[in-house]
Structure 1
Amino acid sequence: MKSQQSTQTMKPATAAKKLGVYLPATPAEFQEGVVSRAELNELQANPPAWLRALRESGPHPRPVVAAKLGVSIAGLARGGVTEALTTEQIDALKDERPEWLEKERATQAEVRKESARLKKRAAEKAEQAQQS
């Protein structure tokens, strides 16, 4: 007896997240349907014009906005940024350099520095454990 392979599908919100785009800005047919794994792979490999445009100019979802600004998603919220931003708006924020952005970037830098320190310490402990 042969088992039938079912096609993996996902909700548009999941697909948009995997593609790094803001769901409300996608075409209606994308928002209303389901996306198969094969369709997602095709979108990633050969992005249509609408996907290239969204990735280039936005609006971008919060994780992308946070990454482009060099802050955490929580840092965006503390700074009062709760909606999706376009690339132009992100660039304007970078140019304006508001106080909250500078503070959040410094906080993010400290977090990265501490993570690196802890990772190094764990590696050193693992190395010592192997030697003994």
Structure 2
Amino acid sequence: MTSHQTTQTMKPATAAKKLGVYLEATPAEFQEGVVSRAELNALQTDPPEWLKELRRGGPHPRPVIAAKLGISISGLARGGITDALTTEQIEALKKDDPEWLRKERATQAEVRKEAARIKEKKAEQAEKAARSRSDR
């Protein structure tokens, strides 16, 4: 009995998401085809010029925009940012530093602080439980 290894493929939207690029800005042949796992790995290890340029200048998808601004994707929506932005537009937003962006950055900082507190508390509880088990 022989086993056949089927090639894993994904839709262009999935591949674009994994590559961190805006699908509509990719070349037509990328958008219209399917991407195998091997092709995705090749794109990640040795990106072609179009991919390097997209990552450098955009337009960028919302998760990348949010990360570059230091806020959540929800924060982008609350700020009225629903479309892809170029690196230049993101830098202009940072420079302008509107009120909504300052507020979202503060919110994100609080979320991170709370997540760290919870992680620390869970670690302490795990350590306490391990000590009580070893004391038996």
TM over 0.5: yes
> Unpaired segments of 5 or more residues in structure 2?
none
User: Would you identify which runs of 4 or more consecutive aligned residues in structure 1 move more than 3 Å?
Assistant: none
Q: In the alignment, does 2:25 pair up with 1:25?
A: yes
Q: Which residue of 2 aligns with 1:55?
A: 55
What's the RMSD between the two structures over aligned residues? 0.3
Q: In the alignment, does 2:100 pair up with 1:90?
A: no
Cα distance in 1 for residues equivalent to 2:30 and 2:108: 34
**Structure of greater Rg:** 2
Read off the aligned partner of 1:91 and give its amino acid letter: E
Read off the aligned partner of 1:22 and give its amino acid letter: Y
Q: Which residue of 1 aligns with 2:119?
A: 119
- For residue 17 of structure 1, report the CA deviation from its aligned partner: 0.3
TM-score, length-scaled by structure 2? 0.97
Read off the aligned partner of 2:68 and give its amino acid letter: K
Q: Deviations over 1:22-62 (max 9, x none)?
A: 00000000000000000000000100000000000000000
- For residue 109 of structure 1, report the CA deviation from its aligned partner: 0.1
- Report how many residues are paired: 132
Cα distance in 2 for residues equivalent to 1:125 and 1:43: 43
Q: Which residue of 2 aligns with 1:15?
A: 15
